[in-house]
Amino acid sequence: MKRLFLLMIPVFMLAGCAELQQLVNTTMSEPTNAEISDGLKEALNIGISKGADQLSAKDGYYKSAYKILLPPEARKVTDRLQSVPGFSNVEDVILEKINRGAEDAATKAKPIFIKAIKSMTISDVVNILMGADDAATQFLKNATYSALYSEFNPVIVNSLNKFNAIEYWSKATNAYNSIPLVKQVNTRLDDYVTNQALDGLFKMVANEEKEIRRNPVKRVSELLKKVFAKQDKNRN
């Protein structure tokens, strides 16, 4: 009986190994295309939500790495207006106003991005998963920028008007243009701020995408871990 038991041990061990291997295979199995789609969309939703929420908060643009600065042609105006009564601090005033406008408009960005994410095809997400660190962000930028601009710009205009930025800038440029012998300027403040605000938003999303791709700690769900393990395997 004892001998029979000893003979059976390798059988039990083999069975146990088979079950263990089956468990490993199940745990580390390749994600399906549907899982890749869900996982990548989850990652993008995380990045977009964080980006939009941070940038739409007070000082989200104004006191961050995404602060919108004046365009080069605008610096000519502010430099020359330093000695004009009422415009001695024109640059500081306009910088705060345009960044406050961008922060206000950023509250409208999230649903526009989410709609674009939902429209991504299986083919899109599989290619994106195996792409560069900002592949998903670039896809969104190419797919949505024009439509996003069309939606974003009126909000920017309203926001700038809310903070009297366009009126203030109009007065500043009129004051500048009245200076003898200067080259006249006509800066479209809303267009510039809209592009800069969107650029900052896409940079924020790209940073979040890179973090999830490169830092396993950022993969906060089992689905994200499984999907991006496939990316890791492909890169090794």
Domain ranges for the chain: 1-29, 31-235
Alpha-carbon torsion angle 59, 145, 199, 118, nearest 10: 60
pLDDT of residue 21: 39
Query: Measuring CA to CA, which residue among 202, 219, 193, 104 is closest to residue 145?
Result: 202
Average pLDDT, the chain: 80
pLDDT of residue 13: 41
Question: CA–CA separation, 62 vs 227, rounded Å?
Answer: 36
pLDDT band at 88 (very low <50, low <70, confident <90, very high): confident
Tokens of 206: 């790209």
3-state secondary structure of 71: coil
Question: CA–CA separation, 155 vs 47, rounded Å?
Answer: 22
pLDDT at 10 exceeding the cut of 80 = no
Segment among 9-23, 116-130, 157-171, 180-194 with least mean pLDDT: 9-23
